[in-house]
A = this chain, B = another copy of it.
Amino acid sequence: MVSPDTREAVQKAAAEVGYQPNLIARSLRTQSTNSIFVLLPSLESPFYPEIIRGLDWAAHERGYAMMLGLTGNEKGRQSSYIDLARRQRPDGVIVLDCELTHLLGANGPFQAPAVQVLEKSDGSPHPSVTIDDRAAAAVATRHLVELGHRRIAHILGMEASTVAALRHQGYLDALAEAGIAADPALMVRGNFQHEGGINCASQLMAEATPPTAIFCANDETAIGAILRLKQLGYSVPQDVSIIGFDDIERSAVQSPPLTTIRQPRFEIGTAAMTLLLDTIAGKILRQPHVTLPVELILRSSTAPPRAQFS
């Protein structure tokens, strides 16, 4: 609200002395900090970095700073990061950690908008970005069925994870749909990690009638399973087909390259950040719960079972 000349003169002077407005003072006045707090369990899994890149990209695009807190899935760290967030007053929070939706309201309600990523608790009031884990797991399993497999095993994720439960459910769906009886001996509990895949593969192949195909709860598990299968003298996919889930970077350069379900991780990140910033900007969200599509990536770790040829 000032004449063009004055405006220009001021802007020129500001540029000359390299004036940068003090965001702290602005924040105190406007009650907004132009920053987002992101809580995630860890960066050890190769799954998260690409999501972070998406978050970073969208935040940068709109001039927001991103604060990061690694909870390591520990209760203590989770709540101390929530406290830190409460003090730092970010304009919003993004949670990639199973149980934090509860924590947000634990020590007094957390008033900033929050978006839940991937682990959607039912009836959560917060916007969320997820994929349809159940349907995607059914797609993976169906792929094995269509190749002609009947003895299809599943290495599950961690007990506590609802994502793991959904993928298990999708596996059961596809089996039922194909009229294949689910065999409890073919469902073993992994941990979403390498090591789980290694141990579970041993266990499965020790069965009286071992599986001809394994649907692994994620790619790391699948890579671990392949490692062990090779050690045991089986070849993949000739003896055993393996399909993973996630499509992490190394799955494409694995030997053999891994057939898997791709999650659009970068898009998950950008969608979550966009949803949050739109909420902050006061936009009415047309669709507060976003479900992103996945894709079956066919590579070389799956093939028809030997029995078909003999």
- Whether A87 and B28, one on each chain, are in contact in the complex, defined by CB atoms closer than 8 angstroms, is no
Tell me how far the C-beta of A84 lies from the nearest C-beta in chain B, rounded to whole angstroms. Answer: 6
Taking CB atoms, residues of chain B closer than 8 Å to A37 are 65
Q: Is A21 an interface residue (CB 8 A)?
A: yes
Report Cα–Cα, A56/B268, bound state, in Å: 23
Quick one: which of A103-146 are within 8 Å of B by CB?
Answer: 107-108
User: At the interface, yes or no: A25 with Cβ under 8 Å from chain B?
Assistant: yes
CB of A67 within 8 A of CB of B20, answer: no
Asked if residues B70 and A68 are in contact (CB atoms below 8 Å), the reply is no
Interface string of A228-265 (1 = CB under 8 A from B): 00100000000000000000011001010000000000
User: Contacts of A87 on B, CB cut-off 8 Å?
Assistant: 20-23, 34
Task: Kindly specify which of A75-83, A176-184, A205-213, A280-288 makes contact with the partner chain.
Answer: A75-83
Tell me if A5 counts as interface (CB < 8 A to partner B): no
Q: How many residues of A contact B (CB 8 A)?
A: 50
B253 touching A23, Cβ below 8 Å: no
At the interface, yes or no: A53 with Cβ under 8 Å from chain B? yes
Rounded to whole Å, the gap between the CB of A271 and the closest CB of chain B is 17
A60 interface neighbour in B22, B81, B88, Cβ under 8 Å: B81
Show 11 A/B contacts (Cβ-Cβ < 8 Å), sorted by A.
A21-B87, A24-B24, A24-B89, A44-B249, A49-B49, A52-B70, A60-B77, A65-B67, A66-B67, A67-B68, A194-B253
Q: Which 7 A-B pairs have the closest CB atoms?
A: A43-B49, A18-B108, A56-B70, A23-B87, A24-B27, A20-B86, A68-B68
The chain A residues found within 8 Å of chain B, CB to CB, are: 18, 20-25, 27-28, 33-35, 37, 42-44, 46, 49-50, 52-53, 56-57, 60, 63, 65-70, 77, 80-81, 83-84, 86-89, 107-108, 194, 224, 227, 230, 249-250, 253, 255
